[in-house]
Each structure stands twice: as structure tokens, then as C-alpha cells.
Chain A
Amino acid sequence: MQSEVIMAGFGGQGIMLIGKILAYAGMEEGKEVSWLPSYGPEMRGGTANCTVVLSDQPIGSPVVDSPFGLVVLNRPSLDRFAPNLKRNGILIINKSLIDVLSPREDVDTVYIPCNDIAMECGTGKAANMVALGAYIGRSQIVKLETVYEQIKSQFSGNQKLISLNMAALKKGYDLSKKDQTSV
């Protein structure tokens, strides 16, 4: 079984980081993984995206046109990537910054106010973790506990950041289990 997800947003929103955490978690659970960043001439405020593939088999193409999952933290990313999402795929929309409905009726769309929830946890910067939590909750692609461990090692030594990010991840995870399929 193979599962691909594209994560996209503004540069500075922590898109690359949540992709890496997912890839690390997949590797820890014994899966084949690849993490491919967009590395165009971008800057803070520009667009950023990465493609993560998790698979039971050696991964063929790390380049993915139509992924199973899509996590979008801003509007341009939704416009760009949503049309290619696989049928019955999962679409996580950051409701805090995206004020339109999903253009797709044939996918499982989850609306999460990532920035607002992150603010409740202590900082809007953790919006990426809320989104990652929501994707993991909805897809069950890796276990929540495995991702906790990766957060611990990514923010090694900084207890405050670890608990904040873990809380944000958990909130996103829990929210995705409830019905969030309408705005």
C-alpha cells in the first residue's frame, strides 16, 4: 500500500517541518518513505510545498501529480493542488486563512481553523502542527504516539516547545475525528 500527501502553504508556516515529521514517523513505523521539497527561488511569504510518500514497497516516483492527501494552509495552495487530489482522498483545509469551500465534492474534506486553535495552545506558529494532527487523525497513516516521539526529537531539549507542539497536534487530531466537514 502506498499513500502520498502534498503539504502546502506560505513559506514560514512550517510546511517543510510537518512533512519531515510525517516522513520520520513513517520511517520509525518501518515504512519506506520519501520527502521531496519544492526548492524554487522562494522566500518567506512565498509559497512552499513538499510531497511525502509512505509505502510498504520501495518507492518509485517521489514526484506525485495526484496525491491521496492534501494539507493546505493558505488559499493559493488550495487553488493549485485541490484539482489533482485523488477521488476519495483527504483534504485538510486551514479554515483560519481560507474562506472558500472545497472545490471538490468527491473527496473527504475537513475544515480546521488551524491558526485559531494554535493561538489557543499559545502561539499561532503551531498552526502547522494542528494541520498535521488533523491529517493523521483522519488518515490514520501513522500513530499519534510515533509523531509525539518525532516532535520530541525535532525540538530536542526545549520542553516548552515540545508540549506546545504536542498539544497543537493533539487538538488537530481530535478535531478531525469530529464532523468538520462543513464550514
Chain B
Amino acid sequence: MAKKLMKGCEALGEAAIQAGCLHFFGYPITPQTEVPEYLSRRLPEVGGVYVQAESEVAASNMIYGCAAAGVRVFTSSSSPGISLMAEAVSYMAGSQLPVVIVNIVRGGPGLGGILPAQSDYWQATRGIGHGDFRVIVLAPSTVQEAADLMIEAFDLADQYRNPVMIIGDGIIGQMMEPVEFKKREKKQLPEKIWAASGAKGRAANKIHSLFLDPVKLEQHNIFLKKKYDEVEKNEQRFELYNTEKPYDLLIVAYGTMARICKTSIALLQEENISIGLARPISLYPYPYKAIQEAARKAKQVLVVELSMGQMIDDVRLAVEGQRPVHFYGRSGGMVPSPEEVCRELKRILAQKT
């Protein structure tokens, strides 16, 4: 397939189809409405199912049912809609159902605004709903990466029988960039022998998250924990940028904010100021070790986010107090320019450490 100019939202929709997902249930909300819009047109063309649910609560329970039947399915929403889905996400994690959820984040709390933000980091990386569980969370920073990670998300969901979230801000959703859908090898994945796909000739499969016997529930919790340990061991993803040469300061940023920081780094390079960047791609599992190692090569660390400071918690956990960790963030839909980040970097570098 040749390169095509696509909005992030459209690329996510097309990537799902390329990953063999022919089922979508969702509800429109800015800035991700182009996902359902695109699929309402595309899915019927490829023999898929598109349903606009009556609400996000309904959509999230529809994907629960669809995933239980053993087919690939996803939903997409933005911050307030994801909150409405929190209950179902917890049930799906408890029932070990492979689903993909897209969150194109907008400013909050509450109804907030419609412009880009990264203020759902805590919600996404700490499980979204109630109970002892994790959701694999992937954060693209380009439209191409959004498409690639979306395809991978379905494999990860099937492999670990767990919900996977793609988290992007409004810019990732609305921006157009060239995308290429490359032919890829099909991954060997476990057969869905657990699916409620008709019990003719076999015992019925039961999919549920209710364990009234505390012994059994604890066993279930221990089983899930082992699964998350595996995820943490195998699925950490990150990018290091400008870290080959010595650098004075390490920026940690993800998604769109990381791209803006890359431009800031290039601008400061012209003034012989060397800054490194660590960009977590998997927000859960968080690449603690990589961040720690990159931070050790710097004198100090700056976390930049489109929020009042959420990922900084994980950076502090990674750095373990060995380096000062500063924070710079804009919120509510305000996006800093590369020059603005440069000013902040210079301010920090001018301070006595």
C-alpha cells in the first residue's frame, strides 16, 4: 500500500481493519469522532460491523460481549467517555477479555474542553476502573506510529487476554501525516478456546469476573499479577533521542509533547546546549530501567507534560531520588511551543544545582 495522508483518528480506524478487527462499537465525542466516522463508512465495505451505541456505557459493554464471543473488537472515545467505560474495563480485565480501547485525550476534569491534553495518564496507567488490574497502555507520537501500535495492540490483547489502550492527545487524533500500512507477518497467538462461541459438542465456556469464594478470587488475583509481571518483563517500549553524546539534562516526555521537545532540543543544539530525551512508548508497562539509566547520565531531569504533572510520579519512581526532577506542563488544551520549552530549559540550566 502506498503512503497516504491521513488524520490520526482515520489511521487508527484503518489500522484496526488491517489488524483483522471487523467490529466497532462506539459513541461520538470530540476529538475522536473521526474514528467512528471513518469506520461507519469503511466497516460495511469490508463486511464488518459498525454500531453507534446509545452511550459510552453501552458501547463498552457491547465490546465486552463481542470480545467474549472470541472476535477482535475495539472502541474509541475521549476522556469523559472513557470515564463512563471504567466499569466495563474493570469487568473485562477481570474476565480476561482481549479488547482495544482508544483514548484521544482532551482537557479535564469533568466535561473539560475539547483541545489536546495528557491529563488522563493516571487514569490509564493505574487501571482505569476498580480492582487489582492493569491495562497495557501505548502512546504514539506520530500518525504512523499510531497506526503501527494499533495493529500491535490487537496482538498484545490476544496474547495476554487483557484490555490494551492506545492513548493519544487531540493533536495525534486530528493531525494529518503520511501513513503506510506495510504487509506484516501474522503473529502466532493462542487459540481462543475460552470463547463463548457456541458450546455444541463441548462443555460451555463461562466468562465472568465474579468469584465469591475468597480463596478462588485470591488465586485469580495472583494469576493476573503473574500475567502483569510477564507484561512488565516483555513489553516495555521507549525511544531515546540525542543520548549518544553527553548531555546536561534529560527530558522525559511522551506523545505529542515528546515531538515538541525534539524540536526544542534541535533549537538548543544550535547554541551548543546538549539535551537528551527519553520517550516512553508503553506507559504501562513503564520503562523504569531505561529512564533510570538515561537519567544517570544527566545532572538533572525535566518532565514535560500536557497536564499539571502526572507521569512525573513514574519518573520519580524510576530516578529513585538520584537526580533532581523538574516539571513543566501546560494544561486545559494549551500546547507549549518548542520555544516555550527552550525558555524553561534555559531557566533550569541557569539555576545552581
Interface bits A27-41 vs B (CB < 8 Å: 1, else 0): 100001111110111
Sorted nearest first, the 6 A-B pairs with minimum C-beta distance are A60-B263, A65-B337, A60-B262, A61-B263, A35-B176, A61-B260
* Beta-carbon contact of A40 and B114 below 8 Å: yes
- Partner-binding segment picked from B167-175, B191-199, B208-216: B167-175
* Beta-carbon contact of B5 and A23 below 8 Å: yes
B266 on interface, CB distance cutoff 8 Å? yes
A171 on interface, CB distance cutoff 8 Å? no
A103 on interface, CB distance cutoff 8 Å? no
B30 on interface, CB distance cutoff 8 Å? yes
Residues of B within 8 A of A32 (CB): 178
Residues of B within 8 A of A37 (CB): 174-175
Residue among B177, B266, B337 with max Cβ neighbours from chain A (10 Å): B177
Residue among A24, A61, A64 with max Cβ neighbours from chain B (10 Å): A61
B288 to chain A, nearest CB (A): 26
Partner of B337, one of A23, A36, A61: A61
A95 on interface, CB distance cutoff 8 Å? no
User: Residues of A at under 8 Å CB distance from B?
Assistant: 20, 23-24, 27, 32-37, 39-41, 59-66
User: Residues of B at under 8 Å CB distance from A?
Assistant: 3, 5, 30-31, 114-115, 170-171, 174-178, 256, 259-260, 262-264, 266, 335, 337-340
* Beta-carbon contact of A20 and B5 below 8 Å: yes
| Complex Cα spacing A59 to B264, Å | 12
Residues of A within 8 A of B177 (CB): 33-35, 59, 62
* Beta-carbon contact of A27 and B3 below 8 Å: yes
B336 to chain A, nearest CB (A): 8
* Beta-carbon contact of B5 and A35 below 8 Å: yes
A172 to chain B, nearest CB (A): 23
* Beta-carbon contact of A27 and B259 below 8 Å: no
* Beta-carbon contact of B5 and A63 below 8 Å: no
Mind listing 5 A-B residue pairs with CB under 8 Å?
Answer: A27-B5, A36-B176, A61-B259, A63-B256, A65-B339
* Beta-carbon contact of B174 and A63 below 8 Å: no
* Beta-carbon contact of A63 and B176 below 8 Å: no
| Complex Cα spacing A109 to B335, Å | 28
Partner of B175, one of A36, A41, A60: A36
B217 to chain A, nearest CB (A): 45
